[in-house]
Each structure stands twice: as C-alpha cells, then as structure tokens.
Structure 1
Amino acid sequence: MNDKYSELKSRSNRIFEWTKTTPFNYVTRGIIKGTGLEDKDIDSKPFIGIANSWNEINPGHTHLNSLAEAVKYGILEAGGIPLEFCTVAPCDGWANGNEGMRYILPHREVIADSVELMVEAHSLDALVTLSSCDKINPAMLMAAIRLDIPTICVPGGPSFWEIEFSPDYTGIDEKEYDNFNNKVKCVTCASYGACEIMGTANTFQCLMEAFGMTLPNAATIPAVTNMKYVLARNSGRQIMTLLKKGITPSQIMTNESLENALMVDLAIGGSTNSALHLPAIAHEMGIDFDLELFNDYSKKIPTIANVYPSGKYGVVDLYKAGGIPAVMNRLKDFLNLDCMTVSAKPIGKTFRRSQVLDDDIIRPLDNPVFHEGGTVVLKGNLAPNGAVIKQSGIQFKDMLNFVGPALCYNSEGDVLNDLAMNKISDGSVLIIRYEGPKGAPGMPELLAVTATLMLKRNLERVALITDGRFSGGTSGPCIGHVSPEAYVGGPIAVIENGDIITIDIPNRKLNVNLTDNEIQTRLAKWQPFEKPIKSRALLKYKRLVTSADKGAILKF
C-alpha cells in the first residue's frame, strides 16, 4: 500500500490490525464488502464518516439528506470513501408547551455520545457533521472535540418565514405588523431549515463558524438554496484536505477561538442557551468556563446584528448583509485573528475581504442595536451562582430595572392556566421553579409562557424568573438558568408570594428582599417538590446532570 494512503488510513487500518494474520481477517473484510466496497477501496481509501441528523420530524433537518449527498460527492471527488450514519435530532418547536420539552436538552449528551460511539466503533478516519437545530449543533461540536480527528461541520442553514414573501415585508418581528395574518406568517416556516430568528439553532450555526469549524459563510446561507448545496460539496472535498494536513479540532477549538465564539455570540444577540452550551463545549475542551465571561465581554462588544429578537430582521437578511464573515470583520479589532480553521488558514484571512452590505442589518460599532452584548449574567441572593438574561431583547428599556412582588409557581402548566384565566396582574414577577436540570427534570424551555405574555398587551410589565430555560427567540425581561435550582435547595425554592424582587440588569443584580438568615430559616423547613417521573431516560439524566451554571453537563 502507498505510504501516503497508509498514513491517511491510520485509524481505519486498525480494523484489521489484530486479525490480519488470521483467517478471521476474511470475516471482517467480507462483512464490510456487504456495503458495496471492493478490496481496493478498503485497502487504499480513507473512511470518512458523515454524521447526519436528518429526519422527517424536524423541519430544520428534513433537507439534510440532500446535503449529505452533496458531501458524499465532494468526498468521492477528493479520493475518500463516504460512510453516512444518522443520529437523533429533536424539534424544540414540537415540544414547547408540553411534556415533550423535558426530553429535549438530554438529547445533547445522547447525540454527542452516539457520534463518538459510531466513529470509534468503526475506526473512521475523519468526520463531516450535518446539523441545524438547537441541541444538535453544540452536540456535534462536543463530539468533534472528544474524537479529535479531522472534522468539518456543515450547518443546515436558516429557513424562510412566510412573511419573507409578503409584499408588506419589513422584517420578521410580529410587532412590525397590525394584520393578524401577517403576525402568523412571522412564526410560520415556509421552507426547510432552522427557524429564521436568532434562536439557539441559528446562534450555534453562527458559533460553529466563529469557532472556525465550518467553511466561510456557511452558517447563514439559507437552507434550500443552491449555495448551501455547493458549500456541502466543498466541505466534502475539504475534509480530505484536513485529513492530509492532519488538522484536527483541538488545533481549531482553542481557548482563543472560544473567546471569538463568545464575542460573536454577544454581537449577534445570540440565544441565552449559549450560557449552557458554551460551558459544555468548553468542558470537552478541558476549559473551566466562568459565566462571568459574558459580563466581561458584554462591556466590550455591543449588539450589532439587527436580528430578531434583538432587532426586526431575520437570519436570511443577515446573510444578505454579509453573514458572519461581515460580522467578524466589524469585530476584527477584538478577535483572535490567528486561530486555525477548517479552511486550513487563520480565521482572520477567511473574512478579511468580506464587506457589510447593509448597515441597518449589521450595524457599525458606534451605532449598535444595543450598546452592550446581548446576554449577561445576574447574581444576588436569589441566584448566588448566576442567572441569565438577553438584555438586548428587552423592548421597554425601563424594564432593565424592575421591582415587583413575586407570584410563585412550581410548574409551567400552572402559569399557563392562570394566564388563560387572567389571574396574573401587570407589575408581577413570575417565579417558575422546579423546571431546572434536576427538578423538571430536563430543564425545559418556557416558550409557551413567554409567547403568551408577549401576546397579552395588558401584561407588558411582567417579569419572569425561572430555574428553567427560554427559547433563544424569547424577548422581554425573562431571566432563566437560576442557579442553584430549586430542587437542590437554591433560594428560589423558598420565595413566597408577595416577596419583593429587585432586578437590576445594568448592575447585574438579582435579589429578593430577604436577609440571609430569613432565607436559611425557610430552607431549614423546606422539602423539594417531587414531580412524578416514570421515564428511565429522565431518571438517569436527573441523577447525572449538574447545575445550569456548569452547562448542565453530566458527571459520573
């Protein structure tokens, strides 16, 4: 065998290492031939895994089968053998507002584990990932850093909302329209791809690119365009270049590229779920991620992407304005420009020729959407280890400081019932607890509550605090990830109706008007609220999951 090819197949050659001098060698080889490969393929060409998250349930992933075909063409053209396998990929939209949402976040570790197990079980030489939505994107990055074989990520891209095709189009924010049909079009997918807001799905497609794990401009190219297909094919070719050069994720995903990803996240008004997933990714990198980094960098990096929920436009508009390369060019004086990328060149060289094509969509640094970064972390006697809010998504800026009486609930369903019966008054601070990683379990998003509040015009001065999570598209004074969570005895567990809550976002404070002694006295009498859980998957997750401020990673 040619030494060059032997080096490229150093992993897949291990399949035969123990048995090559025994008759069992013919058994392994014979089974592999069942895939249609010949001896010359098995012996001379690298095996390139394609970790696809295609399915017919999630509209953000339904088109990934065609992108996988494009990746295969690229791999074949460059001399590799593409071997596709699938992993699970849930749709948050299906699960929001019902029991299904408990099962969503646990998928992150399941996906990362499944990709790791498939690649290692079959000794694949390199990897291409395909994903679009919320937990799946960070899971692919987690798997990539674990495996540390040449890997390139292909993001599925944003969808088009139906409002994009309306003659009245001025943006995707429903507040732009009075007509109810237009409002509905602002939440209706007109194509495959990730929902067109800067939610968790598009945020992490963008952060994949900021990390350097995609080809330039991969994140915001719309899902159903020819350019997305071309990018997938080019990614298939490029994985062979990475294999030949020995460039692996540990050379790309470094502390410096993590800083770049965080700065881009703040600039685009990224999802608050970044405060879960970036620490989890950092953990796989061997880095202890301190949530205070959000506060440190938010003072330096303003929100410049005028994309919903921080602005009025969609991610497709962001693509038209220049995409992530243009955003990074705006931030170039802050970024670490020498970080390696899957393009096999430093990230600074990948965007140096990019231009902003619309200054209203990608704002100049001196005329931002919001003068600080999107996501910040609050602390105080209500959240000693931190809580998270997207300050750039608060429409009424007087709500950056808010004082009000607590109205406490032990589940999302109870809040929705009271909202339906008009039992909640303006000026309240809703406390929704036992929705954390262990308490729910599964740390569900509370999008059904926040969306209902948004639509009730008589409840524009209501704040929400929870140990659960929010959709990346949530706007308003919604504070999540309160840590420690209620189930483990965090102060949120003993808040009572009428306690006065003080929210001070500019000073990063979240407090209840109780002394430490009063909190400890209440906790001494407290017993956790237990939810009936029969699912063995959730019970296992509940036992192993850690706090939200640690990324809700599993420890065992």
Structure 2
Amino acid sequence: MRSSAWYSGEDRNAYMHRAWMRRGVPNDSFSGRPQIAIANTASDLTPCNAHLDEVAESVRHGIWEAGGVPLNLPVVSLGETNVRPTAMLWRNMAAMATEEMLRANPIDGVVLLGGCDKTIPSLLMAAASVDLPAVVVPGGPMLTGTFRGTPLGCGTDVWRLSEEVRAGTLSREAFLESESSMIRSRGHCNTMGTASTMGLLAEALGTTLPGTAGIPAADSRLLAQAHETGRLVVEMVAEDRRPSQVITRGSFRNAIVALAALGGSTNAVVHLLAIAGRLGIPLTLEDFDRIGGDVPLLVDLQPAGRFLMEDLYRAGGLRAVLGQIVDLLDPDASTVTGQPLVAGLDNAPIWDPEVIRTRGEPLLPAAGIAVLRGNLAPNGAIIKPAAASAHLLTHRGRAVVFDSVEDLHARIDDEDLDVDADSVLVLRGCGPKGYPGMPEVANLPLPAKLLRAGVRDMVRICDGRMSGTAYGTVVLHVAPEAAAGGPLGRIRTGDVVTLDVAARRLDVDVPADELAARDPSPAMAEALARPRRGWEQLYVTTVNGADTGADLDFLVGSSGHAVARESH
C-alpha cells in the first residue's frame, strides 16, 4: 500500500512516522492496515455541515471494523450563507488544498464528507486529481420547516418572501418572524438547490454507496450508510478502485440525465465541467443540451415544483427517479461498489407519484439545461427552462443594463428607472474574473414598482450564477464574461435583446461591426475586481471561463498520488 512508503522499514524516517502516529492505536496499525483519511468539511461557520463530525464517527467505526485505520482530516470548508463575496471564489482553493493534503500524507484511501454547495464539488475535484480510492458521503438535507402551517423551502422561500415584502404584500414583521422557522434541523437546504443537486449527482456519478444521497441529515439511516461506507472504502483500497476507474464519460452522461430529471441546479453545469477537467474527460456545454435536453422532469420539488427533499426521500429517492429513465443511462458506468449504477434500478419503486412522477406522466416532457449561443454569448450561456416562465422563453425586449452589483442595488427600485415588464434586465461584470468568483446574483430582484403592479418574472441576463434554490427566466453563465472582453460588456440600455430558447439563441439587435467597435462600458470597467495580492489575485489571473468549469488553468488535469520521499 501507498502508506508503506512512510511506515515500513527500520530507518530513522519510518521510526519517526510510526512513533508520532501511535497515540494509542493498535500495534498492527502500521503493518498492512490501509490508512483511510476522512476528509471532513465540518465547521461551525458552515452550518449546513456542522453535523459531519457525527457522520465521521460512523465512518470511523466502519473503517476499524473492516481492518483499516481511520484518520480525521479537517479540510477547507465553505459556508454558502456566510463567506463574502461568494463561496465560489474559494472552490478551487478548497480543491487544491485537499488534493495537496491527500498527496502529502500517508493515505491509501479517503472518505469525502460534504454537504453545502461547494464542498462536494471541491472534494470530488481533489479526489479526481490525486486519484486515490475515494467515496463520498453527502451530509443530507434538513427536515422541512413550516411557517403559519405552510412548508418552507430553504432558500427558495427567502427569495419569494423577500420579493413579497418589496411588493408590499407581506409585512416586514411577518417576514422576519418566518426566519426562526426556516431551518428546522441539521443539514443543507431542503430544496433542489445546489447542495441537494450535487449530493444526488455524486451518486449518479457513481461516487457514493448507492442509496445514500438524499437521506435527510437527521435520519439515522445516514449514519448506517456512513458506517457501511467506512467498510466499503477499505475494500476499495484492497481492489485499487480509484476515481479514474469509477468516473468515466458514461458517468457524466448519467449525471446529466439525472440533473434534468431532478430539475437540478444550474450550478451543477460549472461543477461537472470542472470535475471532468480534472479527470481529462472531454465534456462541453453542448453535452448538457444534447444529453439532457429531452429528458423529462420527474421530480416535483422547489424551486421548479412544490415539494421538498424530505418528500423526495420518502417517495423513493434518487434510485426511484433513475428507475424511470434507466434506458437513458449508460449501462456500463460503474460505482464505487464495482457494480454498474443501473444495477437494481428495476426494483426501485415510487412510493408517492405526486412527488416523483412516472415516465408516462412527467411534470415536463423535456426539462434539461438549455445552452444558448448568439452574438451576446459566443461561448455559450445557460437557462433552466423548468424554473422559467413559459411565456418568456421566446421574448424581445429593450435592455436595461446595470454595470455592477452595486449599480443594481442603487437603481433597481428607483421610481424613475425607465423599465417595464417587457424590459430585459442585464447585469454584467459578475463572471469568474469580474466580481470575482462569479457570485449568485443572476436572478436580479425585480423593480419594486413592477412588483407592486403584479409582475413576478422578467427576462434577466448575467455573466454570474444564481442560487440553485432560485427561479425565474434567468440567462446566466454568459461567456465570455464581460470582464474577459465578452460582448455583454458592450451592450447599452435601449438595445433590443432577443431570447429564443427553442432556437437556443441569445442576441442583441446591433450590427456586428458596430458592436465590435464599441468600447466596454467605463462604469463596468471601473467596478471590476483589481486584486493586488493573495488568493484573489491568483484566482483572477488564472481562472478559466464558466463555459469550461471556471477552474484555474494550472489545476486542470490530474497529478496523481506519487510523492517524493523526504529526508529528515
């Protein structure tokens, strides 16, 4: 095993490694037992992951039981609700730090504990790059909270209720009263936001013990699965079952199909692209449209539907969903168990057909992420039709342009703002380089005067991201971003924008030579990030575009797990 490079032998280096690591472990811990890291993103500042220390204990028991040595390894934890300007700024740093710690230490395999939005993507990027046997335990969603007898969708109802306050239909006192009801238990958001999506897609990729993703965080069955995962990872080390063998191009097909059927977060696009890049697997925006475009929406969950993650689990969970679309899955794509993902899906019943629809009665017949191109998005942009208003999926309107998030906040509720329900709201300078970190601001708040008039959706365009818990007719991830010279930086208020989702087009009605001749907006350029030191400078100078996953250019690809021996 890899760890024997540290622990075997009688020289001074081996002596030091063993002596410092004994600390009460059995004497045979260094003679043939696999050393298993538990990459743990538990943190009080990542409230959705705060319970992962308890999950880690169950993993530890399983590892010991199977003959391994469990080793807690706290890794970078990114709390979506707290860190500023956006957790996405540090996804690549978390992946890089985890990769380096796994490579640098006497580790034979790793269990990856994540939950909050960026933690599972960063852990999978790290595991893909270091390529040691690895398995994910998603932390699971919180239980459903209620306010005045109504279930609350974590995140989604924040957007909804806050807009009702701005519209004058809900008092600020009632809005603040709902705050204590939003988070009922441990766990991440209970809507089909990014955290839920990436936990479920980790299973669709084959990187979890089947049946684990989507178990509520407070459900004791999560601890049982964590225990079994501890036993499984020891087996994986013995059989040298690594990410490069488990995650194949077929695995990404399965993840894209699952993403569409679940009505999952648009953020999954940028995360799957980044994970594929670490493995050297060719994956493009077009693959999301080609593979997922005609997949039916089967799950009636917020923000695209009515129910919440606790309902999905009781209705049969991910495997019940996949069982309805097994013919669309890659039959050869494997899992961490060594068995195909499709194994046993014919025995995955739906227990509540209101929550999980059958293939014959979907919510929508085609629900995948739509990839748009045109003179506003030469490298692509995306939209989630399932979360959009059907009447806006084909639309022409006059652009109302905001040059920064600060500009948006300063003017969106100005009673003199020249805007109507047919206008197209454009926010730029929010891509990976621009803000930086590609913040979740693409679902722009609607002007208060239009909310008061009853308007609840408008076409919105941005080079940033939106929360997976958000909804609306939002075109996002526009590439190239404005900060990288994209045409979004050269359009002006008053230009006519055309959105045609069926034709997969996003255009501005400005002649090509005129658009090219325009200078980028000076106000936008003034607002762009100009870091002078630290991680932010490294990020801005090396980050790739959203259309390829927004990884750092020097992190794409795998470096493996080899490490030079030290000399004390």
TM-score by length of 1: 0.91
Question: Is the aligned partner of 1:153 residue 2:119?
Answer: no
How many Å apart are 1:263 and its aligned residue? 0.5
Question: Is the aligned partner of 1:416 residue 2:414?
Answer: no
Match of 1:14 in 2: 5
Which one-letter code corresponds to 2:122 in the other structure? Answer: A
Match of 1:258 in 2: 252
How many Å apart are 1:126 and its aligned residue? 0.8
1:293-338 CA-to-partner distances (Å, cap 9, x unmatched) read 1221233311111111111111111111111100110110111123
Match of 2:545 in 1: 547
SS of residue paired to 1:387: strand
Question: Aligned in 2, Cα 1:461/1:114: closer, same or farther, shift over 3 Å?
Answer: closer
Of 484, 497, 502, which aligns to 1:501? 497
SS of residue paired to 2:185: coil
Deviates more, 1:364-373 or 1:167-176: 167-176
SS of residue paired to 1:403: strand
Which one-letter code corresponds to 1:481 in the other structure? Answer: H
Contact 1:453-1:460 at 8 Å conserved across structures: no
Match of 1:482 in 2: 478
Of 514, 519, 526, which aligns to 1:518? 514
Note the 1:360-371 alignment, pairs <5 A.
360-371=354-365
How many Å apart are 1:39 and its aligned residue? 3.6
How many residue pairs end up in the alignment? Answer: 537
Note the 1:245-324 alignment, pairs <5 A.
245-324=239-318
Match of 1:7 in 2: none
Tell me, in whole angstroms, the C-alpha distance in 2 between the residues paired with 1:426 and 1:340. Answer: 48
Note the 1:12-411 alignment, pairs <5 A.
12-16=3-7, 20-33=9-22, 35-95=23-83, 100-102=84-86, 104-163=87-146, 167-169=149-151, 174=157, 184=178, 188-394=182-388, 396-411=389-404
Identify unmatched segments of 5+ residues in structure 1: 1-9
Question: Aligned in 2, Cα 1:299/1:389: closer, same or farther, shift over 3 Å?
Answer: closer
Question: Aligned in 2, Cα 1:265/1:332: closer, same or farther, shift over 3 Å?
Answer: same
How many Å apart are 1:93 and its aligned residue? 2.1
How many Å apart are 1:21 and its aligned residue? 4.7
Contact 2:215-2:313 at 8 Å conserved across structures: yes
SS of residue paired to 1:247: coil
TM-score by length of 2: 0.89
Tell me, in whole angstroms, the C-alpha distance in 1 between the residues paired with 2:244 and 2:150. Answer: 47
1:1-31 CA-to-partner distances (Å, cap 9, x unmatched) read xxxxxxxxx10101146xx353343223222
How many Å apart are 1:252 and its aligned residue? 1.2
How many Å apart are 1:191 and its aligned residue? 1.1
Question: Is the aligned partner of 1:445 residue 2:429?
Answer: no
Contact 2:543-2:552 at 8 Å conserved across structures: yes
1:337-386 CA-to-partner distances (Å, cap 9, x unmatched) read 23221223221114332111111211122322222124211111011111
Quote the RMSD (CA, aligned, Å).
Answer: 2.6
How many Å apart are 1:55 and its aligned residue? 0.2
1:406-437 CA-to-partner distances (Å, cap 9, x unmatched) read 11112112212223434354322111111111
Contact 2:89-2:436 at 8 Å conserved across structures: no
Q: Between the two proteins, what is the percent identity of the paired residues?
A: 34
Match of 1:4 in 2: none
Question: Aligned in 2, Cα 1:261/1:152: closer, same or farther, shift over 3 Å?
Answer: same
Question: Aligned in 2, Cα 1:287/1:451: closer, same or farther, shift over 3 Å?
Answer: farther
Which one-letter code corresponds to 1:388 in the other structure? Answer: I
Contact 2:395-2:498 at 8 Å conserved across structures: yes
1:26-85 CA-to-partner distances (Å, cap 9, x unmatched) read 22322222x433442122321111000000012210100100001001111111110011
Contact 2:41-2:52 at 8 Å conserved across structures: yes
Match of 2:458 in 1: 462
Tell me, in whole angstroms, the C-alpha distance in 1 between the residues paired with 2:448 and 2:78. Answer: 26
How many Å apart are 1:453 and its aligned residue? 7.6
Tell me, in whole angstroms, the C-alpha distance in 1 between the residues paired with 2:303 and 2:520. Answer: 41
Tell me, in whole angstroms, the C-alpha distance in 1 between the residues paired with 2:468 and 2:179. Answer: 19
Of 432, 436, 450, which aligns to 2:431? 436
SS of residue paired to 1:506: coil
Question: Aligned in 2, Cα 1:158/1:406: closer, same or farther, shift over 3 Å?
Answer: same
1:421-465 CA-to-partner distances (Å, cap 9, x unmatched) read 343543221111111111111111117734888993534342211
Which one-letter code corresponds to 1:215 in the other structure? Answer: L
RCO higher in structure (CA 8 A, sep ≥6): 2
Tell me, in whole angstroms, the C-alpha distance in 2 between the residues paired with 1:452 and 1:54. Answer: 39
Question: Aligned in 2, Cα 1:110/1:453: closer, same or farther, shift over 3 Å?
Answer: farther
Identify unmatched segments of 5+ residues in structure 2: 555-568
1:468-521 CA-to-partner distances (Å, cap 9, x unmatched) read 111111211111110011112111001101001111111111000011111111
Tell me, in whole angstroms, the C-alpha distance in 1 between the residues paired with 2:180 and 2:78. Answer: 22
Question: Aligned in 2, Cα 1:187/1:148: closer, same or farther, shift over 3 Å?
Answer: farther
How many Å apart are 1:189 and its aligned residue? 1.3
Tell me, in whole angstroms, the C-alpha distance in 1 between the residues paired with 2:413 and 2:178. Answer: 20
Contact 1:159-1:193 at 8 Å conserved across structures: yes
Question: Aligned in 2, Cα 1:517/1:524: closer, same or farther, shift over 3 Å?
Answer: farther
